Structure 1
Amino acid sequence: YQAVADALEGRPLVIRTLDPAGDKPLAFLPTPPEANPALGLRGVRAARSRPDILDAQLRAICSVRSEAPVAVMIPMISSVEETTWARERLDAACGRNNRPLFGLMIETPAAAVIADRLAPLVDFVSIGTNDLAQYTLAMDREHPSLTGQCDALHPAVLRLIGQTVAGARGVKWVGVCGGLASDPLAAPILVGLGVTELSAAPSAVAEIKATVRRFTMEQCQALARRALIAPTAEAVRTLAREAVAPAGDAQ
């Protein structure tokens, strides 16, 4: 972690704690077979089954020395009790005076719905759109027959993002990560919903910046309002394409 912080040369560092999953297998931490792994020992639940591993990771994070902020975020949170437990582990590992910024991944509908209860306990939240879409739409995003259907621009997912932003007012930032954060079509909608940070792939940053700069905040908010009442994800994408299209290119 110190090497990563040094490579960032004074830019902020955000570290997510371990989340062993089907799409993120860990060879050094084999997990027993589960009938429903997406609903099993994920994120904070895995940490609670092996708190020694979480504690070791937290101590390593707390040892980082950087001029820029260092932050830790806990994945797969679904309750106030889980959040309190994780914060207590962090305080025990680092001490309250040496604690990095503490945040949560909002990846479950439960966390989005109670964002107003979680926000007072944290410094920031990051909305993980891949898992949030999967759990909201009840679709396995890795299923070959469902490719493309588990779309995080579905209005139901966007409403949960908006609910998270509204509930988390007062935190330092509300971020979005996952595939949606790297989608230029989604960027003005997310800005309009009140998202303040996008964790995008490096290759997507330039196009996202160019897209967002073409809109005023009022235009982003108007587009977001239209997206929230659209009937389907494809309808949202059509709205976004028409809004993003250069003048003269729109049909």
Structure 2
Amino acid sequence: MKPQLYILTGGSRGMGLAMAQQILKQGHHLLTIARQSNADLQALAHAHHAPLTQWQHDLAAPHAAAAQLQQWLGTLSADTFSRAVLINNAGAIPPIAPLSHSDWQAISQALRVGLEAPMLLTSAFLQATEGWILPRQVLNVSSGLGRRAIASQATYCAAKAGMDNFSASVALDEAAKPNGAKICSLAPGVIDTDMQLQLRSASEAAFPDVSRFANLKSEGNLTSPEEAGARVLAWLERADFGNPVLADVRNA
């Protein structure tokens, strides 16, 4: 069988790394875009004879990454693959504080990583593969915080809400095309990652919900990156992928 093509942002650690490892173990073709490359991924790719390309790129400068992706996809032959998938997984939380006390540069950087980069990369992916006669999917890793806001997280909540809504709009665009891509903005649940550590380590003065996030850890209610990654990848296999566009793994 032909391999599948996966493009994954934020694949060097956390759930992104777990997804990258699982993709490579299946022998698929993987491109990762992250600030750092991962030597262990290269070794895993070699062991499973899986083509791996790692781009070191800060998605706070998303225009260059999108242009590079569009150009790179143009060098590939659609006949090589059975499916093409873009997973926008990278995200960023600026220092935790009310918006009135937030650093403007950190706000701007987090919005570029969490919203502007997924939009530009999705545009590049859809443009470059529009003539490919094979299944194409865009999976945006969203969050419950994009659908239910909390204090001191205005930037992250805004990025994920924007991700949800641009996904819904793009889905309408693609539905009007003969071979349009399917898109889903998927909340993966609460995961034991550095982001959760950042939230539960904040002061109560800066983050009123800190005790709730601390309890998620102490009570064992966090999903491991490996299990969360497997659930996200399994969502791509659903016959109804993209319906609804806004989904949550906990409602499977």
TM over 0.5: no
* TM-score of the pair, normalised by structure 2: 0.35
Q: TM-score, normalised by structure 1?
A: 0.35
Higher Cα Rg, which structure:
1
